[in-house]
Amino acid sequence: MRILGLLLVLLLGISGCSARQFYIDHGYVRLAAAPGRPAVAYFTLHGGSTDTTLVAVHSEFSLRTELHQSMTSGGMAAMKPLDQVALPAGGKVAFKPGGMHVMLFGLNPVIKPGKTMTLQFTFADGNRYDYEALVIAPGDPAPKF
């Protein structure tokens, strides 16, 4: 009976130590309202068991992408490019309207509302993750997740 109790404690201890899994959710791409303007990608990153740093987001349907931060200074709205974004272990970083986002320049016109497009996330440690983001029209409300 004592051995059975020790095994139970050991198994409970192992299940309590499981590593947090990194994942991406709530992702979508809003198409530009005017031809030639960039589309914008939004999503939420959920950190795994270790700190990491996002260094790029790419799409095969875009000629160029940039990480950006929106801000207001002196009553004026502005954006600045970001070289990287830290994602703490177990943390959450939201890319959302009015905050951080990804600009997608030169988007291929085959991308239409209602479809999905793959976004590839690259981290400083070399890890890459693909995410299928819903594509929405310029005036459509953000998807409800």
pLDDT of residue 75: 84
Q: To 5 degrees, how large is the angle CA 89–CA 94–CA 100?
A: 120
Mean per-residue pLDDT pooled into runs of 10, the chain (145 residues): 42 50 97 95 97 98 97 86 97 97 97 97 96 97 92
pLDDT of residue 72: 83
The second-level CATH assignment, the architecture, of 20-136 is Sandwich (2.60)
pLDDT of residue 9: 38
pLDDT of residue 18: 54
User: Cβ–Cβ contacts within 10 Å for residue 74, how many?
Assistant: 5
